[in-house]
Amino acid sequence: QSVLTQPPSVSGAPGQRVTISCAGSSSNIGANYDVHWYQQLPGKAPKLLIYTNTNRPSGVPDRFSGSKSGTSASLAITGLQAEDEADYYCQSYDNRLSGLRVFGGGTKLTVL
């Protein structure tokens, strides 16, 4: 059971907008720690998608955006494309147990 909770799956048609939620608690996101997002294409290593809640690394399309509020965060993908089909993970810091870097359980995005 992951410290950060994500829906196991989401889906959308090409061109649509989807969001992926990441629910935390008062010891991680709610304690004002930053949230980062990763995209894992099938058979590949995770790749940084969003850092510090809302920032995109160079080369990441602006179709991807992140937000954070209270004890949760969200990743939004607009103009869905077939190449976006992947697993997405959120990551933050948890201040229990001498500090823990925690991931969400991952969300499988299916482009219909």
Partner 1 sequence: QVQLQESGPGLVKTSEPLSLTCAVSGDSITTYYWSWIRQSPGKGLEWIGYIDYSGATNYNPSLKSRVTMSVDTSKNQFSLKLSSVTAADTAVYYCARYVGPQQADNWFDPWGRGTLVTVSS
Contact residues: partner 1, CB under 8 A? 2, 33-34, 36, 38, 44-48, 51-52, 57, 89, 91, 93, 95, 97-106
On whether the CB atoms of residues 84 and 20 are closer than 8 A, the answer is no
Nearest distance from residue 30's CB to partner 1, in Å? Answer: 14
The smaller minimum CB distance to partner 1, of residues 82 and 99, is found at 99
Please give the Cα distance from 60 to 78 (Å, whole number).
Answer: 13
Beta carbon nearer to partner 1, 1 or 13:
1
- Spell out the residues 6+ positions from residue 25 whose beta carbon is closer than 8 angstroms to its own: 3, 71
Of the pair 13, 43, the CB lying nearest partner 1 is at 43
Instruction: Provide, rounded to whole angstroms, the least separation between the CB of residue 34 and partner 1.
Output: 4
Longest CA–CA span in the chain (Å) reads 43
